[in-house]
Structures are given as structure tokens and as C-alpha cells.
Structure 1
Amino acid sequence: MTPDMSFTHLIASASLLAQIVLVLLLMASVLSWALIFAKRGLLKRIGDAADSFEDKFWSGGNLADLYESVRRDKGLDGVSAIFSAGYEEYTRQQTSSRLDPDDAIAAIQRQMRVAQVREVERVENGLAMLATIGSVSPYVGLFGTVWGIMHAFIGIGQMQNASLAVVAPGIAEALIATAMGLVAAIPAYIAYNFFTRGVERLENRYAMFSDEMIGIVERSLRHSPRS
């Protein structure tokens, strides 16, 4: 009698531990794709928002008007969040009774740096999970394969029959775990590298914007009359 070699039958006839491994790998794959789509959407949204904000920033308008526009739109993420943090500190320093340009610039830089780190951490959220799935899934799949092959050989020993018809289902069942491990790992690993480069570019963009804004407020503070 020809054994049933369909995918569903092999999984249904697998040992309990092998089935648990397959379920874990399936969950890891679903989680990684959810993170991939969510992270891709987030990076695109932040990039588009940064383009729009920087167009307004470099249009030559008043920074106070731009700040009020950002606050009304509630678009405080990415570059706009860094700008808002710096501008708020800038206005506080301007209203200070003892305005020292060097101290004011240092305070503004600190606030913008804190906002920049916060924004980068928000974008990086989830990348560690992708890295974990990409690195661990192959080993989980390998464990399921080893267990499945061991289980198959135990069955062969009990049946005392090593024909291909007897061996094939057990080996195929075991190799499914390896395939599932790769299915979960490869997209997660590729996405992790892709998003890591995207975050690095975004971080450099934040740093460049911070430097440009510090230059603007520095000129303003050094040319303003001291109290």
C-alpha cells in the first residue's frame, strides 16, 4: 500500500513534539511578516512626513508659525518631534532672565538629542524580534528535523522494515521542520538588514537636521540683545 505523502497527512501523523515545533515556527513566521509590514509602513510614513516638514522648514517661514502648525496637526514624530523639542527649549531660553548663548545652545542641543534618541528607539522597536526570529528559527527547525528522524528510525526498528515506503514518510515529515525554519528565518533576516539600514539613514537625517537647526538658533541667540 502506497503511503499518503500529502503535506497535511505528514503533519497530522507527526509526533507531538514535531507538531509543536511546526506550530512555533508558523507563529514566528506570521509574527515576522506582521512586523515587516508594520515597520515598512512606519518607515514610509515617517519618511514622507519628514519630506513634508523639511519643505516647510526650508521655505523661509517663521519658526513660531511652523511650530504652531505642527502642534495643531499633532504630527509630533520624527523630524517634527525633534524640531518641537528644540524650539520649546529655545523659547524657554529666550524668556530666561539670564540668557547666556553658550548655555542656551547646550540646553537646546540636549533636548533635541533626547528627542532624537527617543524617535530612533521608536523606529527600532521590533527589530530585535526580527533578528531573533532570523537567527533562532533555523535551529528550531533543525531540532524538529533531528527529532523527526529519530522518531522515524524508532518506528523503523519497531516494524523491522527499512524499505523506502516505510522510511520516506518519516524522513519527509522531519524535513518539513527544516523547511519551516527557513521559511520563518529568511524573510526575517533579510527584513532586519533592510530596516537596519533604513534606521541608520533616518538617524543620520535626524542628526543633520539637528545640526542645521542648532546653527539657526545659535545665530539668533548670539545676535539677540542680552538682558
Structure 2
Amino acid sequence: MLEKILTGGPIMVPLVICSLISLAVVYDRWTAFRVNRKTDTRALRSKVLTHLRNNDIQGAVTECESSNGPIASVLLAGLRSYSHLHGKEESSETMRLVVGQVMEDYSAQAMSVVNKRLDVLTTIGTAAPLLGMTGTVTGMIASFAGLADAGSVGGSGGAVADGIAEAMVTTAVGLIVALLAVIPQSVFNRWSDEIELEIEEGTSEVVEFILTHH
């Protein structure tokens, strides 16, 4: 296997580096998403609303503090803002606007953490095939040079085979590295969209509660 990789020539160095970076990012993001997905966010939102209906804002805050993940963090930011305004007996419209803005701002921060390093997978998914194609070009150049040498006195066709091998190996490896980045990224993007949707739903529930109960 190592011998086949080495036949890819110098282009294999950045391809191997890309593959290692991609695997590291995939492992990091998979671990983070796995922790987030362990939290029953629907149950959390239900408990928060139950506490709010019972006028137990601190209980809702405690529920969020004891939970992990971006959804709990966004709800916590909104509830703390709501608790602060509730103590000042602000109007429902003021509380709705302020709490909604706080949760919207915090959700942007939370989603930036959720999507952290996914752009690295995008870059690798784009660059790896291009690196493979570059290896293909350099391999074909070597093949043509080998053909020229083979036509001269004392020339050998071995250089032609080496050039073709370099071209094929780099192309294959470039595509494999790209797939190892693009497929996990697609899964992570879907999970990210689910988290963003739940954040929006949680924000709407809190804002709607403020409007209907004050």
C-alpha cells in the first residue's frame, strides 16, 4: 500500500496532509455533535414552558443550566434576560423585543460554534480533486517525457509506466480524500440545520409565551 502511495509522486504529500486534517476535523465535529444529540431538546423545551406557565422563571433557568448544547444555551440567555426584565415589570412588548433580540444574537454565536471547522472540510473537498488532477498532469508530463526517452538510443519504457502510475494514483487518492471530507460534511450540515431549526422553535415558544402571558 505504501509503495502504491509513493508512486503518486510529490503531490501525494499535500494529499496525505489533507486527509489527516480531514479525519481530525471529522472526529472533532462528530464528537461535538454526538454530545449535542444526546440532549433531549424537546423535553427540555417542554420543561422550560411548564416552569414559565407556573411562573417559575428560576426553575426554567435551572433546567437550561443543567443541560448541554447550543439550544439550552440560547434558551438560557433568553430566560436570564426575561428574568431581569420581569423583575422590572417591563411591558410585554418591550420584553418580547429585548428577549427575542438577545436570543437571536446568542443563537448566531451558538451556531458559529456548531459549524466550527466545517469550512475546513469544504476547502479539502474542493482542493483534493484539484490536487489529484495536478498529479495527473504532472504524471502525464512524465509519461510523455518517458516516451521521448524511449524513442532515443538507450531509452526505456519504464519511465512511461511510472508517469502513468503517478497520474492514476494521485487522481484516485484525490477523489478518496474529497469523499472523506464531503460525505461527513453533508451529514454535519444536516445535523446543524436541525439544531438551528430547534433554536428557532425554542425562541418562538419563549417569545410567544411572553406575548400571551403578560
Q: Same fold, TM exceeding 0.5?
A: yes
**Match for 1:82 among 74, 84, 104?**
74
1:8 counterpart residue number:
3
**Match for 1:65 among 54, 59, 62?**
59
Runs of 4+ in 1 over 4 A off after TM superposition: 58-61, 161-166
The share of aligned pairs that are identical, in percent, is: 21
2:208 counterpart residue number:
215
Contact 2:75 2:103 in 1 (8 A): yes
More moved, 165-174 vs 129-138: 165-174
The answer to whether 1:181 aligns with 2:174 is: yes
The answer to whether 1:123 aligns with 2:117 is: no
CA distance in 2, matches of 1:130, 1:37: 12
Provide the alpha-carbon RMSD of the alignment.
Answer: 2.6
TM-score for both structures, normalised by structure 2:
0.84
TM-score for both structures, normalised by structure 1:
0.80
Aligned 1:12-161 pairs, distance under 5 A: 18-19=9-10, 21-51=11-41, 53-54=44-45, 56-57=47-48, 62-71=56-65, 73=66, 75=67, 77-96=69-88, 99-160=90-151
* 2:135 counterpart SS class: helix
More moved, 133-142 vs 39-48: 39-48
Distance 1:31 1:83, change over 3 A: same
Q: Specify every segment of 5 or more residues in structure 2 that has no aligned partner in the other structure, as ranges.
A: none
CA distance in 1, matches of 2:84, 2:68: 19
Query: For 1:116-174, what per-residue CA distance to the aligned partner results, in whole angstroms no more than 9, with x for missing partners?
Result: 11111111111211111111211111011111221232234234368754522221122
Q: Specify every segment of 5 or more residues in structure 1 that has no aligned partner in the other structure, as ranges.
A: 1-5, 223-227
* 1:131 counterpart SS class: helix
User: Letter of the aligned partner of 2:74 in structure 1?
Assistant: I
Contact 1:85 1:115 in 2 (8 A): yes
CA distance in 1, matches of 2:5, 2:116: 37
1:3 counterpart residue number:
none
In the TM superposition, residue 54 of structure 1 has moved relative to its aligned partner by 3.6
CA distance in 1, matches of 2:179, 2:72: 35
CA distance in 1, matches of 2:90, 2:2: 74
* 1:125 counterpart SS class: coil
* 2:69 counterpart SS class: coil
Contact 2:124 2:181 in 1 (8 A): yes
CA distance in 2, matches of 1:10, 1:33: 18
Distance 1:7 1:154, change over 3 A: farther
1:225 counterpart residue number:
none
